[in-house]
A and B are shown apart, each in its own frame.
Chain A
Amino acid sequence: MKRRTLNSLAVGLTATFASFLAVSVIGGQIANSYRANIDSALGTKSYVTVEGEGRFNKKFTTIDQMINAARAVSVKEGQEGTVLMKNDNAVLPLAAKSKVALFGIGAYATFPYLAGDLKAGNADAIDLETAFTNAGFTLEENVASVYKTVTNKHKSTSTNPWTGETVETIAYDAAPATSPGDMVQFQNNEVPASALAAKAGVAENWVDNIDNKATAFVVITRGAGEGNTYDPVKLAKDYLGNDTTKVALALSDDELSIIDLAKSKCSKVVVLINSGNNLELGEISKGGAHEVDGIAYIGCINDYQLEGVVDVLSGKVNASGHLSDTFVVDNLKSIPASQNIGSGIFTDASIVEANATNGYDPRWPNTEIQTGVHSSFASQTSYSSDSYIVEAEGIYVGYKYFETRYYDSIANPSFKADAKAGSHDGNAWSYDKEVLYTFGSGLSYLDYTQNITNVVVDKTNEGDVTATVAIKNNGDKEGLFAAQLYVQQPYTQYDRTNLVEKSAVMFLNSAKVLVPAGQTKEVTITVPTKYLASYDSKAAKTYILDEGDYLFTAANGAHEAVNNFLKAQGHTPTSGEAAGAVTKWNSVSLDTFTYAVSYNNAVTNQADNADLNYWLPGKVEYMTRQNWETFPKNYNEVSFKIADSAKKDEWLKEFRGQQYTLKTNNPATEGADKGLRFGTDANLTYDQLSNINDQYWSDLVSEITIDEAVGAVIHGGSQTDKLSNVENPIVAQNEGVSGFTTGYTFTDADKASSTWCKAHPDAANYKFNVHSQTLIATSFNPDLAYEWGEVEGNSGLWVSRFDLWGTGLTQRRTPYNGRNYEYISEDSMLANRLGAKILRGCADYGIINGPKHLGANDQEYKRAGLNEFMTEQKLREGDLRCFQAALEPKDGNGLAVMIAFNRIGSTNACHSVGVIKNILRGEWGFNGIISTDMATNPYYFIAEAMVMSTITQVADFAQNDNHINANDGVDKTWGYISVSSVKNDKEFVEQARQDLKYQLFTFANSYIFNVKTTKVTPAWETAINTVKVISIILTSVCAIGAVALLFVPGKKKEVA
């Protein structure tokens, strides 16, 4: 071969192998950043865990025990969470072995109907049809046949784009919409009665064959999900895509046509509400044009809840569920919070922009930064600051509004409760015109009474209210009953002067008890006394306990409680009746000190600037009960100019996330190895495990380098990364609110011994995300909530996952939030009590369960930047109270929390030192893990602000980037962050180390401390490394050969 040809060959091969080398080196770095994602897609592992003996041990020691426990609690959720809202003409309970006709596409695709985050989809999952037949009922086959043809449940295949594997899923030709969209026009897929015959391919007169002895169940469904918000105004489309005259949460004409069909053909009709978003039910309620015999709320179900639902419908168990929200006539006009959803835009939003006119942001010189709020998941060059809502309703969310206004209409006529403002029909307001079904209400098959017999109030900082309630079962069968404890706090002149709002009734806690027929049982309900206090942000600037009478009662819902109070005070209820006793406790004087301290920290104002009046005085009139004409107006339509604020410069800093500026004159100490290691063989003492302030922890984190301390927080990701000098564990985060979405893969031993496996031989795994948050809420049973927490926690031990975002506690401010199904209630105390139990159940088994989304995640629409203006009293007694008990060490002992996407006021919730550092960590004593939601916009989520607010990890998808110098010495996300730029700010660096201290302390107090993590090399990494080594060798050999062939002289041809 000619020399030149050989040379070209060598050059070509050098180029080829050099390219392979580049792929293996750089590609390897990329792969390393997404290690967990690649492992998940390919089924490989990068870490193996060896679990040893420790503080936490499994409660369920065989897989059958674990599965049975998961199933049992799910069935109970159905049994205890089903709410009987209407039960006329003795429609329920059903007669044994009777016939049922299931109408509505939701009866055959009950939401959620697809396996995923919300639904486990195990082999033994039960649908409504199966639940009825298993319970001995027969199906009306004419109706079932038509609907099965119309919905046509079938298997569908898709290809996994990463592995090429064929994945089988379930699909339907007609099913309820799973996602309503984000403030868009909703499409209601219900097929009207007039179209059923054509769609099913049957004769029009098929309805004549329907057995009129059957009881009809019509399932009305509304789907929901992340990134979804029901639009309150836009008229919905029908199943064909045509505009209708109804809004999304009203019963559509097509749905009503199905109800009318059922009414015309069947003996009785029951409507089942399958939704986490409250529907407008006036048309089917008492006196409605399409009134039905029965209405039951079944929430959003999962694999087994329908078995429990049918247990209630059949009368196998007593109906003991209670509504966790108020159902009203008109969700938009009746509800004060609904006046302010969606968003307004600041008139002069552009003054926040960074540009040549306004000036550039010194952190991003010469970069134009806009202000529009866009998708939560897109990286964008925007401060995301231009949109706002004003939560002018204050504390009056849900029943607190309706029941207080009702109370005042009788007891305080001067408060103008009968004003037209807030009346859905424009006439004088009255309770019965606005409210259909109240918070806490629920019918029982068995007649019962509940009466409070005693109350003891321990008015110390950590004292409890202890109430005894006697429940008398007047029925002829044993039954489960809920005792609900309510209080009325005094509304004094001090409150009126200082705008401390008080609801006329407040739920405190509940308990459920099984009572034999004809007997009375007493149940004790306790709740921390501090929840009787109200927040006074104007005068005392702390929690106060007013002087005056505190009335306690036990009642079937907030309305009955208010009637009990009215009667006790000598008034006559005008809607419904009083039914129970009232007990009084008196506070002799105004107390502004007992609850002014919490966990040894002062409790004082932290969110003055969350109120729009702070920036623009006098612009907002928050609703006050002393004048119900202050019913909120729509502030989205009001012009607010940032430039009009006397505090404009301060306000601009909030918009731009400039809460903290890196200092340059106080050098930090570099981390140095002191030989301390966080390992499972570390003999941590009791003091060290129980006291984060023990010197051990400070010494441990002092070993972390500046680069890694800051990097590990701002790039905390979805999985912790190894820190030099510390040997911390690798911990991956998991989802979700219904339980761990990671399945348990059966071993050969399981398959040989497990009864469940033998019954389902084709099942390779079991998914434990079998929970229904909606039904745990309506169960009103804290013990059941703990039982679910235990199951959720133990399932984590079985799947070897120890950290999850496993519950949602955000307050349901309006019916429109697409994530209401993940949350518990409009009432902060119901969420407070149930949330605490769920988290305690997990924490008792060492599982880190972080609730979502602390900080008023009141709507999905524009959540990534929305300014939410509110009073501090509303913030504290509303959304924050939902989370408080769950996260306090002496109550729920939750070990983690996720912060909301939105702004509190104009401060990114993740930047809020006031809320996160001072309230959450200071006042609540929380030392756990705090994560952001997905921080994809670096101009909205600011690194230094998040470190200083004590966030322990900023969420993103990448891993293994726990350092700053990811790209030529500066951070790849925040280019102004580098070791050079942070090393002279000791306060900042030490705060980052403190943030990691919270993380390591939490790991030490969790099951993770039982676990030794060892890194292994997956096959894909081995392949990359092999290519790297071979490429280096071959590139070098070929390059040398090419040069040699060029310069080394060849043989000279002899000339003859």
Chain B
Amino acid sequence: MLKKLLSLSNILACVTFILSLVALILYAVNVNSTGYFQGVRADGLVLLLIFVMVFDLLIIARSFLNFEGILDKVLDLLVMVLKVLVPLFIMIAILKLVQSRVEGFGYIFFSNVDVAKEVATPANIASAGVSITAIVFSAIAVIAALVGAFISPKKD
């Protein structure tokens, strides 16, 4: 059982799960902390990342379930679909996060000197930093998920 849990596919699913969870936590912190992005929500992001984590758990669970015949094929198909959806959902989450932050990044990092003095406060820069960190963690999660998509949860 341990061998199944430690399969490369499951490890990558775990990594994706953890990174997505971290990204979700960072997003929650970002939205609820003082700073430029306090209250600035990216619609659907939370749901997407929750789905990602659930899908990862299902992918891991599949490696422990063995059936015969068509049911096994159907489960294989389900895992295939989940392995496509996981990186896709994370990617969509990243894009939604970027979409909700791009104007703020513009103000904080690329304004002229006078506007920057008003906007580029330590709190706002920190807030932007948390957003960027969330994006980075999500991007790494995408890479892990994409690599995992190339790896079957079962061996021949």
Interface residues of A (CB under 8 A from B): 2-5, 7-9, 11-16, 18-19, 22-23, 26-27, 29-30, 34, 37, 116-117, 161, 178-179, 181-182, 225-228, 375-381, 818, 936, 956-958, 967-968, 972, 1039, 1042-1043, 1046-1047
Contacts and interface: CB of A to CB of B under 8 A. Distances in A.
Nearest to A10: B80
Contact of B118 (A34, A37, A182, A958): A182
B107 A30 contact: no
A746 B154 CA distance: 65
Interface string B41-53: 0010000000000
Given A11-B84, A26-B95, A381-B39, A226 B102 contact: no
A18 B95 contact: no
Given A22-B91, A161-B109, A179 B117 contact: yes
B95 A27 contact: yes
- Which 6 pairs between the two chains have the least Cβ-Cβ distance? A12-B150, A225-B114, A15-B149, A227-B118, A26-B95, A8-B152
6 contacts: A8-B151, A15-B86, A22-B92, A377-B119, A381-B38, A1047-B77
A291 to B, nearest CB: 35
B117 A377 contact: no
A958 B104 CA distance: 12
Contacts, number: 134
A251 to B, nearest CB: 24
Contact of A15 (B76, B111, B146, B154): B146
Given A8-B150, A179-B114, A228-B114, A379 B87 contact: no
Contacts of A19: 87-88, 91, 142, 146
Contacts of A1042: 80
A161 B110 contact: yes
B98 interface: yes
B122 interface: no
A18 B84 contact: yes
Given A4-B155, A29-B99, A1047-B77, 17 more contacts: A9-B150, A12-B146, A15-B88, A15-B149, A19-B88, A19-B146, A22-B88, A22-B95, A34-B102, A225-B113, A226-B112, A377-B115, A377-B118, A377-B119, A936-B107, A957-B106, A1047-B73
Given A2-B156, A179-B114, A378 B87 contact: no
Nearest to A181: B117
B135 interface: no
A1042 B147 CA distance: 16
B140 to A, nearest CB: 14
A13 B40 CA distance: 34
Contact of B113 (A22, A29, A179): A179
A375 B80 contact: no
Interface of B: 36, 38-40, 43, 73, 76-77, 80, 83-84, 86-88, 91-92, 95-96, 98-99, 102-104, 106-107, 109-115, 117-119, 121, 124, 142, 145-147, 149-152, 154-156
A379 B40 contact: yes
Nearest to B89: A22
Contacts of A1046: 73, 76-77, 80
Contacts of B106: 37, 957
B115 A226 contact: yes
A287 B98 CA distance: 63
A1039 B88 CA distance: 14
B95 to A, nearest CB: 4
A175 to B, nearest CB: 13
Contacts of A18: 84, 87-88
Contacts of B114: 179, 225-228, 818
Nearest to A41: B110
Contacts of A30: 95, 98-99, 102
Nearest to A30: B99
Contact of B36 (A3, A378, A958): A378
A968 B40 CA distance: 17
A7 B112 CA distance: 53
A1046 B73 CA distance: 7
Contacts of B156: 2-5
A4 B152 contact: yes
A402 to B, nearest CB: 31
B105 to A, nearest CB: 10
A23 B91 contact: yes
Contact of A376 (B86, B98, B118): B118
Contacts of B110: 161
Nearest to B104: A379
A826 to B, nearest CB: 23
A26 B98 CA distance: 10
B116 to A, nearest CB: 9
Nearest to B150: A12
A15 B84 contact: yes
Nearest to B142: A19
Nearest to A382: B39
Given A379-B36, A1046-B80, A227 B117 contact: yes
B48 to A, nearest CB: 11
Contacts of B103: 936, 956-958
A228 B84 CA distance: 52
Contacts of A179: 113-114, 117
B154 A4 contact: yes
Given A11-B83, A378-B124, A1042-B80, A26 B92 contact: yes
